[in-house]
Amino acid sequence: MTAVPVAGSIMVDCRDAEALSTFWRNLLDVEVLAQHPGYVWLKPQREGGFAFAFQEVPDPTPGKNRVHLDLGHDDLDAVSDR
């Protein structure tokens, strides 16, 4: 296994994950992939595409830093060592 993380979703910080994800779900015509308190992930529009995700935060960053990439890997220590 290589120590390269996988970009899994584009995460948007927001005050109301349910409301914002509903807007984008309807606009993009996609279904919910997963949901936990304060978080919603939408299914990608196509195979291999990015999932949009919404994360509730108490005070979203003003300006341009409301979106970040979520990267994942089974061995975070190997990624860190890389």
Question: Cβ neighbours of residue 10 under 8 Å, at least 6 residues apart?
Answer: 50, 51, 52, 53, 67, 68, 69, 70
All domains of the chain in start order, with CATH:
6-81 (3.10.180.10)
The SS3 of residue 51 is strand
pLDDT tens digits along 22-71? 999 998 889 999 999 999 999 998 888 889 999 999 887 676 667 666 66
Q: What angle do CA 32, 49, 33 make, to 5 degrees?
A: 15
pTM of the model: 0.74
- The CA distance from 12 to 38, in Å, is 12
Question: What is the C-alpha R_g of the chain?
Answer: 14
> Residue 16: which pLDDT band, with cuts at 50, 70 and 90?
very high
